[in-house]
């Protein structure tokens, strides 16, 4: 039920936080795990070689369960840009190939492909924002026999308008295109299935909808791509690295699956316990149930905003956890300051107010938001 999970979040009653797409709200359990991890680090003599691997592998299992993959397909890296560098290093393009991107797509899933296109003689094909918010149809119309790569999100980060990735995945397979996904703005709050979409690479940062800390990111690598070349030659990615007494017996072979793509020092003894607690809570709620509850909240916000004259992202075209409230021209300059003065927090992206609640949001939060928004109606 909306608001019934507020006790799990470290959010004061006088804060109305509608900005989970900026940074996810902190769970009490995640804070507790971080504090305990800091205390553990005071006694480095207590750490064993197993501590370098066990929490990371536990995270792989929980994350794999969320997306329906095997844990051997999960790597742990520090950022989306790192993960995209891994993907770019393992996708071959040739002159004349096309890379499909969205207009105003988040830059971490744009810059690597701009560089790769320049290096290989490929071209970028940018899908223009559709007036009806139907990104799926727009993307499909831009995928052709020339498409060698589609690099996409599940939802547009500015307003929550969604893409049907199952349909897009089938189209990519039909034309022989690679598919690389950044699900940072949806995974954990919207349903997703690896087995239905079948991307080559998929990445999601922990610190938004997966309720983890900044600095941890999860990378899925399809089995067909797991014999690729990592961008780091970390010792922990090599076969037998669990045996510290034999580390100078250098190995050519990598550890099984996607572990070769792990970043160096990915086993952060503070960040990983926090990340694991976030994943456990998401798994306990399940993305389907979270999405269903968040849909109630965002539908209510869209309805009330529409009555004030805002143009909200249509329910049929948006993901359940996020929406944009649009002005005809631009957002009034004083809106964010007025919201912050009442300790209400949302984001402005372009000419839209981006509203991104989580399961802590209740009726009181919504009333406080609209008490300010009504003074800035179009």
Give 26-54 pLDDT, tens digit per residue.
999 999 999 999 998 889 989 999 999 99
Q: How many domains does the chain have?
A: 2
Residues 247 and 298 in one domain: no
131 and 252 inside one domain? yes
Residue that finishes a domain, picked among 243, 264, 284: 284
The stretch 191-204 carries a mean pLDDT of: 97
Per the listing, tokens 């790769």 go with: 116
The pLDDT of residue 4 is 84
The CATH number of the domain holding residue 323 is: 3.90.1150.10
Query: CATH number of the domain that 131 lies in?
Result: 3.40.640.10
Is position 273 within any domain?
yes
52 falls within a domain: yes
Query: 278 and 291: one domain?
Result: no
43 shares a domain with 166: yes
- Answer yes or no: do 66 and 195 share one domain: yes
pLDDT at 3: 59
Average of per-residue pLDDT across 61-70: 97
- Could you tell me which residues are beta bridge partners of residue 170? none
Q: Is 124 domain-assigned?
A: yes
Average pLDDT over residues 323-347: 94
Cα–Cα distance for residue pair 216/76, rounded to 1 Å: 7
Other CB atoms within a 10 A radius of the CB of residue 257 amount to 17
Within-domain flag for 25: no
Is it the case that residue 269 has pLDDT exceeding 70?
A: yes
Domain that holds residue 46: 31-284
Q: Whole-number mean pLDDT of the chain? A: 95
User: Which of 296, 304, 342 minimizes the C-alpha distance to 320?
Assistant: 296
Last residue of a domain, one of 235, 258, 284: 284
The reply to whether 342 and 193 lie within a common domain is no
| Radius of gyration from C-alpha coordinates of the chain | 21
Whether 206 and 292 map to the same domain: the answer is no
Shared-domain flag, residues 15 and 159: no
C-alpha to C-alpha distance for 72 and 226, rounded to whole angstroms = 9
pLDDT class for 2, splitting at 50, 70, 90? low
């Amino acid at each position: 039920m909306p608001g019934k999970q507020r006790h799990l979040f470290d959010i004061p009653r006088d804060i109305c936080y509608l900005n989970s797409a900026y940074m996810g709200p902190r769970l009490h359990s995640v804070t507790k795990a971080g504090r305990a991890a800091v205390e553990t680090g005071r006694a480095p003599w207590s750490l064993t070689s197993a501590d370098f691997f066990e929490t990371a592998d536990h995270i792989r299992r929980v994350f794999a369960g969320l997306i329906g993959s095997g844990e051997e397909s999960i790597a742990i890296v520090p950022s989306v840009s790192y993960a995209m560098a891994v993907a770019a290093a393992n996708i071959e393009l040739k002159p004349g190939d096309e890379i499909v991107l969205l207009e105003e797509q988040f830059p971490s899933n744009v810059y690597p492909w701009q560089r790769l296109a320049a290096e290989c003689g490929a071209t970028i094909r940018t899908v223009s924002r559709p007036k009806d918010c139907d990104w799926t149809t727009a993307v499909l119309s831009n995928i052709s026999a020339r498409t060698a790569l589609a690099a996409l999100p599940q939802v547009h980060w500015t307003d929550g308008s969604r893409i049907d990735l199952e349909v897009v995945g089938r189209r990519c397979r039909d034309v022989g295109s690679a598919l690389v996904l950044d699900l940072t703005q949806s995974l954990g709050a919207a349903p997703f299935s690896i087995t239905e979409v079948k991307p080559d690479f998929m990445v999601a940062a922990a610190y938004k909808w997966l309720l983890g800390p900044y600095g941890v990111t999860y990378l899925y690598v399809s089995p067909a791509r797991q014999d690729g070349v990592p961008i780091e030659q970390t010792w922990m990615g090599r076969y037998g690295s669990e045996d510290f007494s034999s580390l100078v017996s250098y190995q050519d072979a990598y550890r099984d699956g996607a572990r070769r793509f792990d970043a160096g020092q990915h086993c952060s003894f503070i960040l990983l316990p926090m990340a694991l607690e976030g994943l456990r809570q998401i798994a306990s709620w399940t993305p389907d149930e979270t999405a269903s509850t968040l849909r109630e909240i965002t539908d209510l916000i869209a309805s009330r905003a529409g009555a004030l004259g805002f143009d909200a992202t249509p329910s049929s075209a948006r993901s359940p956890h996020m929406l944009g409230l649009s002005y005809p021209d631009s957002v009034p300059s004083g809106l964010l300051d007025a919201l912050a003065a009442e300790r209400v927090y949302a984001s402005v992206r372009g000419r839209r107010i981006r509203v991104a609640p989580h399961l802590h949001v209740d009726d009181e939060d919504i009333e406080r938001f609209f008490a300010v928004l009504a003074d800035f109606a179009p």
